[in-house]
Structure 1
Amino acid sequence: MTLHDLDARADDLRRALGDKVVLAGDSGYDTARTPWNLAIDQRPFAVARPDSADDVVAVVRAAVSAGLRVAPQSTGHGAGALSGTDLSATVLVSLAGLRGVTVDEQARTARVLGGSQWHDVLEASTPHGLTAMHGSAGDVSVAGYILSGGLSFYGRRHGLAVNTLREVQLVTADGSLVRASADENPDLFWAIRGGSANFGIVVSLEIDLLPYADVFAGMLLWDAARAEEVMDAWTRWTATAPESATTTLRVLHLPPLPELPPFLSGRSLVVIDGAILETDAAASALLEPLRALEPEIDTFARMPAAGLTAVHMDPPEPSPAFARHAVLAGLPAGAREAVLGALGLPGLFVAEVRHVGGAFRRRSEGAGAVGSLTGEYAVNLIAMVPAPEAAAGADAAVRAGIEMLRPWHIDSLVLTFIDAGDVDRALGFGAALGRLRELKQVYDPAGVLVAGQPV
């Protein structure tokens, strides 16, 4: 592409979109292009900032007219999935300004605008005694999370969050605003539930809510010197835990930061957290084998459902990190040793094991391309990138850690956990991949839409 071509395309975008687009060289370009994951240096041709569905239509039509592609992004938590993608001829469509939630208390549903975060849904649903199938962090976008499956602390009872989707409105590659549901454009509705941004830019979704005003949830915390003992006990516990219990075990190396409380700063810790959909008495009885290990901190108790997003202690501000994950059928002694062994790798920040199975495994009637998850445990390794020169070491650490678990990998991946460009997405799409590719040719034959998880 010559300099003249670039200038002509930039001029076309400015004429069509005015102040809704920011181009390289503009004063706001660096801020607009920076995702939540600060380790990812994405450099698109331009960043568009629509505020409405009509704006999104205009952006897609203007980009196509200028011979450019489009890539939707709300928060950029999963921007690492685009890290191997050339965005030099792509308009990044930032949906951060397209936020809002309306709750139908009687139907127990929420209509959610395309750039909304889970905090928005919880704020709107809490007054009605309802909650949603959100993930561990409230500042993640609803669309990106839910259309890629979505692992919730309610999931062992209720399955993947994507199965709560009733309908979606999206702008397709030809600039059309389309509604997709079980009875309208059903092929597109099937494809977007897992195929997500491969098939359009979401401007609104309608999702089912859960009838939980409060939930028994919290965390147990020990010094990491007890990590082996705690992991062994938790593994035995999960083997018989009911589907009402969805928990995660993490070992964390916390840096000595002044913003951390003294009992956390500079320490290595092992934490079990999650939610138990039982009465207080039943949940407490279930936790007895873990509480018998005498944790330093035990916060498990009845809490407002909206408080569940704080339990996992995800970073509250944009952070630079690399992550890799694998799905395992079980956690035999060798796999547990590998998880703990990975923590000796320089730069590794968190080793996390999520207990899945249960309803996560079951595909509901009428499910989309991705409607269930094979496996019993999802292991996620995270390395922070405190400075650019640390990036190579952080990437090497998470790669090496996942490779240590290679003997126990199964052919499955969690799409929402794929945060690198060189991962085999076929393991996340499974048997749906062939049909997804066929429908991609139907809805986007020119490859206008750039997805973090391409089919």
Structure 2
Amino acid sequence: MITSARPALELDTLRPSFAGELHAPGDAGYDEARAAWNLVVDQRPVLVAEPRTAQDVAALVRFARHHGLRVAPQGTGHNASARTGVDASILLNTRLMRGVQIDFEGRSARVEAGALCGDLTAPASELGLAALAGSSPDVGLVGYTLGGGIGWLARAFGLCCNSVLSFDVVTGDGEELHVDAEHHPELFWALRGGTGSPAIITHMELRLIAVPELVAGAMLWPWERAREVFHAWHRWTLDAPESATTSIRILQVPPLPDIPEIVRGRKFVCVDGAVLGSDAYANEVLAPLRALEPEIDMFAMAPPAALSHLHMDPEQPVPGMGDHAMLKDLTPEAIDALVDVAGHDSGSPLLAVELRHLGGALGRVAADAGARSTMPAPYVFFAVGMPMTPEMGAAIPPRLAMCKAALGDVLDERIYLNFAERPADVSQAFDADAFAALRAVKAKYDSRDTIHANHAIAPASR
């Protein structure tokens, strides 16, 4: 039985079998170790454990079970705002486990639980290889993959979770397992996009993609042209090839020092993304957008590592409040309504209001797909604000709600967990059969619900 009280922890019984770092409330390193990347989140767990090995993770899980506590794994804390109740759990911070090994001949990589996207994309890029990583270099690979993983090669190659070859995990009773298509296949299925509820990942093996030619970048126009550019981008996406994955944003760039000077502190409508292929081919694909005469055009031949930077996401911890929605369609009326509440005359406090183009390989179920087999919508909406002051913190949630309401009839009730910034009904991310199977897997590998995932799935018996 998991309790919510804060018991007196007998850390001396854990330390002999734990090679990592332990931080209890009041310790000098506790506040730094408990911090999430999203600075809005103020998590105060009963203990922060920073493992160095899989054996450390197993020892910690057994220790937590003995004390009637749960274990909350966290790589970076980008999505920490989706998890509740961490104050009654042990926070398992994996930042000391960032090892990456690349097998060039086998076109694969083995990464530890705390590896960031940039830890893999940079060395893989030097070999002409790419992981299906996301739009920020400091997002944790494991958390991103457990939620699905939409990157800038997604329309050509699908979700990152379906590029996983194997996992090494620790189950809810502290058992270490190697998991792949032949070993514990139901758990292998569940962990590929079905959240980290049934097991804690210690290592992950990913398939890499050879990318001989790639064009990536962004086009930016003054945000006063948002309506015109949104409509043109939408028309362009209707026939865009699967080699192109793009998003469009109304973007109020903050004056942060790590943002390129050319855009720092300015306001734009921005189309960014990537096109697989030669410069000549990409020029042909992007020609309808270039016909709009962007003020800034940064699309150019690029190495795969550039994909982690082109979205200009902050690369240091910041406060963020966001929301998202899957879209079953996109209409001119929805575009106009969204620009009305987020564009230059709206008074919007939001940093970014984004539509990302899905479809292509994201809409097809691969024969060996995991629990998150597809993204069953043509577009996804995401918006975020940075509450730098209390006044901004009060203004952002109602504006997020206004943006969703503006989309009206094109909203889909399904959700995408990596963009779900608040506690959500996880069943909305899966069809009924898949969610029932996920609960069954949770019951088999973590029947006592020891693992406290940020998007939790309860065991089937509950």
| TM-score bucket (shorter structure) | over 0.9
TM-fit CA distance, 1:214: 4.3
CA distances 1:311-335 after superposition (whole Å, capped 9, x unpaired): 1100121010111000112210121
Aligned to 2:397: 395
| Counterpart secondary structure, 1:92 | strand
Segment of structure 1 superposing worse, 175-184 or 1-10: 1-10
Once the two structures are aligned, what percentage of the paired residues are identical?
A: 40
Contact 2:45 2:89 in 1 (8 A): yes
TM-fit CA distance, 1:80: 1.1
TM-fit CA distance, 1:450: 0.6
CA distances 1:121-147 after superposition (whole Å, capped 9, x unpaired): 123312322111001111111111112
Aligned to 2:210: 211
Q: Does 1:63 align with 2:64?
A: yes
| Counterpart secondary structure, 1:354 | strand
The CA distance in 2 between the partners of 1:137 and 1:2, in whole Å, is: 36
Segment of structure 1 superposing worse, 392-401 or 143-152: 392-401
| Counterpart secondary structure, 1:264 | coil
| Counterpart secondary structure, 2:431 | helix
Q: Counterparts of 1:265-284 in structure 2 under 5 Å?
A: 265-284=264-283
Return closer, same or farther for 1:57/1:388 CA change in 2, 3 Å cut-off: farther
TM-fit CA distance, 1:386: 0.4
Q: Counterparts of 1:136-151 in structure 2 under 5 Å?
A: 136-151=135-150
Q: Counterparts of 1:79-228 in structure 2 under 5 Å?
A: 79-82=80-83, 85-228=84-227
Q: Does 1:251 align with 2:250?
A: yes
| Counterpart secondary structure, 2:8 | helix
TM-fit CA distance, 1:384: 0.7
- Amino acid across the alignment from 1:20: E
| Counterpart secondary structure, 1:235 | helix
CA distances 1:373-411 after superposition (whole Å, capped 9, x unpaired): 111111101011103564333233223322332421113
Report how many residues are paired. 452
- Amino acid across the alignment from 1:426: S
TM-fit CA distance, 1:267: 2.6
- Amino acid across the alignment from 1:76: G
Contact 2:19 2:52 in 1 (8 A): no
The CA distance in 1 between the partners of 2:127 and 2:374, in whole Å, is: 29
The CA distance in 2 between the partners of 1:5 and 1:255, in whole Å, is: 40
Segment of structure 1 superposing worse, 178-187 or 24-33: 24-33
The CA distance in 1 between the partners of 2:405 and 2:15, in whole Å, is: 47
| Counterpart secondary structure, 2:81 | helix
Return closer, same or farther for 1:329/1:128 CA change in 2, 3 Å cut-off: same
Contact 1:412 1:430 in 2 (8 A): no
Q: What is the TM-score of this pair, normalised by structure 2?
A: 0.93
Segment of structure 1 superposing worse, 312-321 or 389-398: 389-398
Segment of structure 1 superposing worse, 135-144 or 381-390: 381-390
Segment of structure 1 superposing worse, 97-106 or 6-15: 6-15
Contact 1:13 1:66 in 2 (8 A): no
Paired residue for 1:372, among 363, 374, 387?
Answer: 374
TM-fit CA distance, 1:266: 3.7
The CA distance in 2 between the partners of 1:324 and 1:358, in whole Å, is: 24
TM-fit CA distance, 1:111: 0.8
CA distances 1:249-298 after superposition (whole Å, capped 9, x unpaired): 01112345576566534432011000011221121011111101110111
CA distances 1:176-200 after superposition (whole Å, capped 9, x unpaired): 1111110011111111112232011
Gaps of 5+ in 1: none
Aligned to 1:328: 327
The CA distance in 1 between the partners of 2:92 and 2:79, in whole Å, is: 15
Aligned to 1:351: 353
Which structure has the highest helix share of the two? Answer: 1
The CA distance in 1 between the partners of 2:3 and 2:122, in whole Å, is: 49
Return closer, same or farther for 1:124/1:14 CA change in 2, 3 Å cut-off: same
The CA distance in 2 between the partners of 1:347 and 1:87, in whole Å, is: 29
Gaps of 5+ in 2: 458-462
Q: What is the TM-score of this pair, normalised by structure 1?
A: 0.94
Return closer, same or farther for 1:137/1:3 CA change in 2, 3 Å cut-off: closer
Aligned to 1:444: 446
Provide the aligned C-alpha RMSD in A: 2.1
TM-fit CA distance, 1:25: 1.5
Segment of structure 1 superposing worse, 154-163 or 260-269: 260-269
Contact 2:19 2:56 in 1 (8 A): no
Return closer, same or farther for 1:154/1:441 CA change in 2, 3 Å cut-off: same
The CA distance in 2 between the partners of 1:328 and 1:11, in whole Å, is: 52
Contact 1:125 1:131 in 2 (8 A): yes
CA distances 1:12-37 after superposition (whole Å, capped 9, x unpaired): 65676487211111121111111100
The CA distance in 1 between the partners of 2:42 and 2:231, in whole Å, is: 39
Return closer, same or farther for 1:249/1:368 CA change in 2, 3 Å cut-off: same
TM-fit CA distance, 1:4: 9.9
Return closer, same or farther for 1:259/1:245 CA change in 2, 3 Å cut-off: closer
